[in-house]
Structure 1
């Protein structure tokens, strides 16, 4: 049954990825083909088996404004490359994303009521979205025509300050109240033609101004941001960085400022394993590497992954791998002869 369920989820995830690739291809065609001043607008509904919601976009004069509003039925990861020069301004009204940039070692955690500004000339990576989590984002992309028109490549140092290669784990900023008000205007706008184009362009410039100017506002309102997903990844980091210590659920919850129930529930939702299962799996992976690639005695390996008693380590290893550490090492040595 598990295999059938995994196969079904794999097929559905592939459908979602293909749909997102179609969206990205559409954006690319718009950027390359549209040279006039009219607003190109389209709204696309997600297939019911993928999720409940829609994607809507407006494009004109090198300015793309996309609006996502969906509840997905399965986790999925979108991988891709960006080779077009663009300034990207994103506002995550609800939901969470795990962003992986190939040139950067750590995952970037982006969640509800946050925003970011980046300059991209060339980048590759992936974005992970979680199922059963409402996702609502406004993503603004400013391409070469728009950038040159407003001298964004020379006047404000955006290329140097916000280059995507320089982003770190604190890349996202909380939304200020003025920004939230403008986003609400964008989401409820019904204008058409010239008025729509003027309205959208003015609001994007206002949002960009607020982001560049109001750094103090971002900092002062940071305490209102919901950092749940960041706290979950902090727990993952704590476990991975010190396998010699076997933390209890209560210790981890206290460390990141969550209650036990929320941590237990949300960790399972995000990582598809309980904290105990995740920690055990991580320990066994390290144990197998040490058994394969080192000559450390089993009692020492046991201590390195958090078992003070090698008998307990042997029992846990056998339960997971179906063999003892000693036999696992012997079998690996024999296979190399």
Structure 2
């Protein structure tokens, strides 16, 4: 498989201009930092046989457009850890997919260009794992819930596993961080990456099956699911001053009972659980900026006690905030 990644606007963000010359190697890892017109792009590309993984961390004062091309049909495991971007295929092929904070999905596409348009922002993180279809077919379950995806795979058609992007769980985050920061070398590094990708794929498929087969979730009307996404957007835009459940329910035109029940079925967590996920990610970004200490970030996230904040942070990320730097 040949992978090409380039920035269309602004030009000059380099991913892998020399990446494909390493085809003979079992595992290749390239790290880069690129600067272009108000953009700092820190990226890593890892190749393990026919598996590609790329990680980006972007600080940008303007929007960015990327193009991704593969020469063979493939599958993308997409994890938006902290960004806001639109993913699109070639015009007229399939609807655009809007990836927001803490969302993931699996997309199958034939050999064609795909594009992503990023909004301006700092500490935007995204990880994508590109698999050959043969690898994925080896592990995708045969349960009925995957039949439609199976049929599209066999026809090599553009397809998304889930109609709605699913929430990235702490377990998924931990696996992704382990892959990116893996310090092993040679065959052991290759074994760990392959094992973790299989585990990650299992968590994605397992979550999709759970959300799809839940009778309450499948019984929701599209308008109700859209309301829950509206509620999620309100949460994201009011982190420092979150509204009550009653107020949130009234803003989206429902009641508190339906909000709590439907939100959990759509996103796999409660309203306050989702709010906590977002706040922990915001806390991580603030700590990584090194402009605030742990006590200050704890206060900014609404914690009166830094010890309680540290405990919540470790539970979410598996590491104390004081060790993050």
Which range, TM-score by smaller chain?
A: 0.5 to 0.7
1:112 aligns with 2:97: no
2:162/2:208 contact within 8 Å kept: no
Question: Is 2:231–2:252's contact at 8 Å kept on the other side of the alignment?
Answer: no
Change (3 A) 1:210 1:50: same
Matches within 5 A, 1:252-263: 254=251
1:140 aligns with 2:140: no
- 1:255-292 per-position Cα deviation (integer Å, ceiling 9, x unaligned): 599xxxxxxxxxxxxxxxxxxxxxxxxxxxxxxxxxxx
Change (3 A) 1:43 1:69: same
Structure 1 residue 203: deviation in Å? 0.3
Cα distance in structure 1, aligned partners of 2:191 and 2:59: 31
* Post-superposition offset of 1:117: 0.7
Q: Secondary structure at the match of 1:151?
A: helix
Task: Select which of 53, 62, 72 maps to 1:84.
Answer: 72
Check 1:174–1:192 CA distance in 2 against 1; reply closer, same or farther (3 A cut). Answer: same
The structure 2 residue matched to 1:160, chosen from 151, 154, 162, is 151
Which of these residues, 148, 151, 157, is aligned with residue 138 of structure 2? 151
Task: Assess if the C-alpha contact under 8 Å between 1:17 and 1:77 holds in 2.
Answer: no
Distance in 2 between residues matched to 1:42 and 1:82, nearest whole Å: 18
Paired with 1:125 and 1:194, the residues of 2 have a C-alpha distance of 32
The equivalent of 2:40 in structure 1 is 52
Match of 1:42 in 2: 30
Residue 197 of structure 1, CA deviation: 0.8
- The one of 2, 10, 23 equivalent to 1:16 is 10
Q: 1:183 to 1:75 in 2, by over 3 A?
A: same
Separation in structure 2 between the aligned mates of residue 149 and residue 142 of structure 1, nearest angstrom: 7
Q: Does 1:213 align with 2:202?
A: no
CA 1:143 to 1:212, structure 2 compared with 1: closer, same or farther past 3 Å?
A: same
* Structure 1: gaps spanning 5 or more residues: 1-12, 233-252, 258-337
Once the two structures are superposed, what CA deviation does each residue of 1:67-125 show, in whole Å capped at 9, x if it has no partner? Answer: 11121121122346544211111111101111222234643111111111112213344
Residue in 1 aligned with 2:194? 201
The counterpart of 1:190, out of the listed 180, 183, 189, is 183
- Match 1:228 to one of 222, 233, 240: 233
Q: Structure 1 152/35 Cα, relative in aligned 2: closer, same or farther at 3 Å?
A: farther
d(CA) in 2 for partners of 1:254 and 1:226?
8
TM-aligned CA distance change 1:115 to 1:229, over 3 Å: farther
Q: Distance in 2 between matches of 1:225 and 1:199?
A: 39
* Structure 1 or 2: more strand by fraction: 2
Displacement of 1:56 after TM fit? 0.6
Q: CA RMSD in A?
A: 4.1
Change (3 A) 1:218 1:35: farther
TM-score normalised over the length of structure 2: 0.54
Secondary structure class of the residue paired with 1:87: strand
SS class of match (1:46): strand
- Alpha-carbon separation, structure 2, partners of 1:62 and 1:127: 23
CA contact (8 A) 1:176 1:217 kept: no
Distance 1:79 1:185, change over 3 A: closer
Equivalent residues of 1:113, 1:225 under 8 A apart: no
Q: Which residue of 1 aligns with 2:260?
A: none
Question: Aligned pairs, how many?
Answer: 217
Out of 117, 120, 129, which is 1:131 matched to? 120
Q: Distance in 2 between matches of 1:97 and 1:118?
A: 15
Corresponding position: 1:93 with 2:85 = no
Mean Cα deviation higher: 206-215 or 76-85? 76-85
Unaligned runs of 5+ in 2: 1-6, 218-224, 238-249, 255-325
